[in-house]
Amino acid sequence: MGLYDSTLKLIEELRVHGVRVGLATSSKNGDYVLKKAGILHLFETRVDGIVSSRLGLRGKPEPDIFTTACGNLGAAPDRSIVIEDAVSGVQAGAKGKFALVIGIARENNADELKANGADVVVEDLAETDLEKINQWVSAKRATLAPAAT
């Protein structure tokens, strides 16, 4: 796992504005990596492969790890966002009916992420901030709202 400065900047911006941040990963060494990187404190909850095994959670593309992280934060999926660079992760976010699924196309796979459930695709999180995320959520909600008759 590489540390991306833009990811850390976005997490810090979210936290400054009172947005709760959790980590959901299939990896069984999530805590180890976060501790080693010195960023464990940035995440209020972590649902990793060890937690998944203990709780019997299904892996991606099922949304279990994401919905469990939301539950731990006291947040409903329809008021939460998923940021994912894996196709199975965006599939899980879409299946879980999250307010927004942001795909990160780090492997030149923007079309694949979009086709599998990402509402928005960026190449790097430097392309977004809290204001843009709120705009994307509002735009998605507008498209899902029933048409007035």
Q: What is the pLDDT of residues 117-141, one digit of tens each?
A: 999 999 999 999 999 999 999 999 9
Domain ranges, ordered by start, for the chain: 9-139
pTM of this structure:
0.92
Q: In what order do the strands lie in the sheet with 81-84?
A: 81-84, 100-104, 120-122
pLDDT mean across residues, the chain: 94
Task: Tell me the pLDDT tens digit for each residue of 31-56.
Answer: 899 999 999 999 999 999 999 999 99
Query: Which 3 state secondary structure label does DSSP give 46?
Result: strand
Instruction: Find out if CATH 3.30.43.10 is the number for domain 9-139.
Output: no
The tens digit of pLDDT for each residue in 75-93 reads: 999 999 999 999 999 999 9
Percent of the chain at pLDDT above 70?
96
